[in-house]
Chains A and B, each alone.
Chain A
Amino acid sequence: MTTATLTGRRWLNPAYMYLAPSLLIIAVFIAEPILRSGWMSLHDWTVGEETHEWVGLGNYLELFADERFRNALTVTGVYTLVTVAGQVVAGLALAMWLRRTTWLSSLLRSAFFFPTVASFAVVGVVWKFLLDPQVGLVNAWLEKAGTTGPGWLTDTGLALVTVMGVGIWKGVGFSMIVLLAALQGVPDQLIEAAKLDGAGRWHQFRAVILPELRPALLFTTVIATVTSLQLFDLVYVMTGGGPLFHTESIVAYLYQRGFVEFRLGYASAIAWVLFVMILIVSMIQLRIARSHDGG
């Protein structure tokens, strides 16, 4: 048996054959575009132009001096910190509250989970309409209650807060469901034993339930972080990045440069910086979780 036929056989291994379609799809639709965007980020690349000037790291250098990019970094950072924390904490609180299955808790679980099913764009359109300062329902209610509602999305100090609120509202159901499932898996005898040892409700939660929930908490945190860092739809629909760039996230800025001004090289550079950021943040989160597991 020659090595050639051996390799041939190995390649013909049914496992590879079964994998091939998926691998091909990943290669064509994910790997190739990612690599190509890396290549584009090293050029002054405009769609439709016949030649693209090689600029090396020029786009990246321009990016680090770009005030609007720094603003987008801050906006995205603040949004991510607040929504991830809000989403996970509120999700945990809801999960604890709705732990026992009754008809009321089932109803409420569905209600809280519902926004997760809708897309960000739909959620954004609905909230924008509700929060309209002149014809929106929210300010009309506030008016009936005797106060004047603020410009939720037009006030520079308030717009990001509003978007974050909607982001939490949209994501909390997901965290809640994941944590609820994990809560069902906490063995009753552990809680029973803690009770016998004289642990109060807080101690039961702190010393028994929370450690059992760690994998689920990690999962929701990582997913929420990655989603938040890619914030786009909500901002695009609700504020268009305004007022005065106060809600312009990294991806919203990428869209402006790449798909409004057609500077695809520069936009690709932004995408790569974001990619590296997400990679680092996810790695840190996983590392923290692992070190806890070891201890």
Chain B
Amino acid sequence: MRSSLKIGTALVAGLLLAAGCGSPATSSDPDAVVELSLWTGFTGPDRPAYENLVKQFNASHPKIKVTMDVQPWDAIAQKLPGAWATGQGPDLATPNFDPGVLFNYVKTNSLLPLDEAVGAGDGKLNADTFPAAVNTAFTIDGKLYAAPANMATLVLYYNKAMFAEAGLQEPKTADEFAAAAKQLTKTEGDKVTQYGISLADHATIQMWPILQWMNGGDIVDAKGCATIAQPASVQALTTWADLVVKDKVSPIGQTGADADTLFSAKKAAMEINGPWAAAGFKEAGIDLGIAAVPVGAGGPVTLASTVPLAVGKSTKHKAQALEFLSWWTGKTAQAAFSDASGFPPVRTDVTSSNPVVAPFAAGLPHARLYLPGLPTSPKIDADVYVPLIGKITRGEPVEAAAQAAADAINQITGCTA
């Protein structure tokens, strides 16, 4: 018996050695350059602006070298949760474009709270200069878990040539918007040759909530109680579901990427999207119009999107990672980034000199986040909201579907009101 144990032990030891499981020697040289790894999902046309920012940081911080690894969002969503939960992975990352996903990472104990870095002045994380919505979205149980990698609002992109051909003006009100979507849809027999608008319903930054907000409706209130079945919301969903089902103003079941492709291919006249899309649309040769989201009964509104930039809990270079975040969200970096990218700055005390930024910055005061501050938001999105839009755009009666969605939301959030 004993000899078999010995053989077994020897084999295991041999295998482990062969697999290279020994821990690497760590250097304690104070002059050594600290290497930070950063995963982001900025694969779009805005990518060079982020890369430049990293380059600037490395140039001004000789003792830290940040290497940014840009991957598609779904690749990050596959790899990062497991990596961080088991103490591996990059020092810093943007886990998702949806801040709601932070809750999942907090649940698996993967994120480093940033509170010790928060303060006033350079070298600190100036959280009080971030838009309030950002801090709400990134704070969980009183702790700040991310800094904004960017800040954006959605606008209405439209194809000027198609509007001119139809003799239409840029829509200012919700009614004009709906009418334009209908009028710009062209059919030949059964076939739609031009869509009025390109709406996505999954794998995207949600655009349907804007249609509800425009009309004064909403999905869920701050206490987690569903408001999606209230009249203003049902009315908005009915209007747009009818436009999609009966008037075929948009294809159904599109992802965000599908919706962009459709608009870029000049097969749709309008799309609601953020600043990252502008360069691609112009490159596709579209005579691009950019307008604020039309105003309905709910007053001016748009959707705010902010990508969280978080630190992995098991990073070995906490101080350097926090320094990077403070610099990234600092005045100098944000002014430079905004000028280069066309995104509004993530700080309220910086104004961009880039004229492209104006329409997006103009949306900031009334921009709202999708399902903000709810630990269950990823589940509400995946299990309730996305299926709801899928159902009503395939002809299911809106009122019943909205009521069922409201019940499902209340069950998920535990709202009993």
Contact = CB atoms under 8 A, between A and B. Distances in A.
Interface stretch (B7-15, B139-147, B321-329): B7-15
Interface string B183-206: 000000111000000000011000
B3 A262 contact: no
A5 B159 CA distance: 87
Nearest to A68: B383
A148 B391 contact: no
Contacts of A260: 77, 104, 378, 382
Nearest to B192: A148
Q: How large is the interface on A (under 10, 10 to 19, 20 to 34, 35 or more residues)?
A: 20 to 34
Contacts of B77: 260
A240 B202 contact: yes
A134 B107 contact: no
Contacts of B394: 156, 243-244
B241 to A, nearest CB: 14
Interface residues of B, number: 41
Given A151-B251, A262-B107, A20 B81 contact: no
A132 B77 CA distance: 24
Given A151-B251, A154-B253, 15 more contacts: A8-B1, A21-B11, A46-B108, A47-B81, A49-B108, A50-B109, A134-B258, A148-B189, A148-B190, A151-B252, A154-B252, A154-B254, A242-B253, A243-B253, A260-B104
Nearest to B84: A48
Given A21-B11, A24-B15, A12 B108 contact: no
Interface string A118-138: 000000000000001111000
For chain B, what secondary structure do more than half of its interface residues adopt (helix, strand, loop), or is it mixed? helix
A151 to B, nearest CB: 7
Nearest to B252: A154
B261 interface: yes
Given A47-B85, A260-B382, A245 B251 contact: no
25 contacts: A4-B1, A7-B1, A11-B3, A12-B3, A12-B7, A24-B11, A47-B86, A48-B107, A49-B107, A49-B108, A132-B258, A134-B261, A135-B265, A148-B190, A148-B191, A151-B251, A156-B394, A240-B203, A242-B202, A243-B252, A244-B387, A245-B387, A260-B382, A261-B104, A261-B379
A132 B254 CA distance: 10
A134 B11 contact: no
A133 B109 CA distance: 42
Contacts of A134: 251, 258, 261-262, 265, 267
B82 interface: yes
Contacts of A12: 3, 7
Interface of B: 1-4, 7-8, 11-12, 15, 77-78, 81-82, 85-86, 104, 107-110, 189-191, 202-203, 251-254, 258, 261-262, 265, 267, 378-379, 382, 387, 390-391, 394
A47 B83 CA distance: 11
A20 B11 contact: yes
A148 B191 CA distance: 6
A150 to B, nearest CB: 11
A154 B255 CA distance: 10
Contacts of A244: 387, 390-391, 394
Contacts of A48: 85, 107-110
Contacts of B265: 134-135
B227 to A, nearest CB: 23
Interface string A236-276: 00001011110000000000100111100000000000000
Given A242-B390, A244-B391, A46 B251 contact: no
Contacts of A17: 7
A151 B78 CA distance: 27
Nearest to A25: B15
A240 B73 CA distance: 14
Contacts of B190: 148
B329 to A, nearest CB: 27
B408 to A, nearest CB: 11
B107 A46 contact: yes
Contacts of B1: 4, 7-8, 11
A11, A134, A262 — most chain B CB neighbours (10 Å): A134
A262 B191 contact: no
A240 B8 CA distance: 44
Contacts of A245: 387
B93 to A, nearest CB: 16
A4 to B, nearest CB: 8
Nearest to A132: B258
A80 to B, nearest CB: 25
Nearest to B254: A154
A47 B15 CA distance: 27
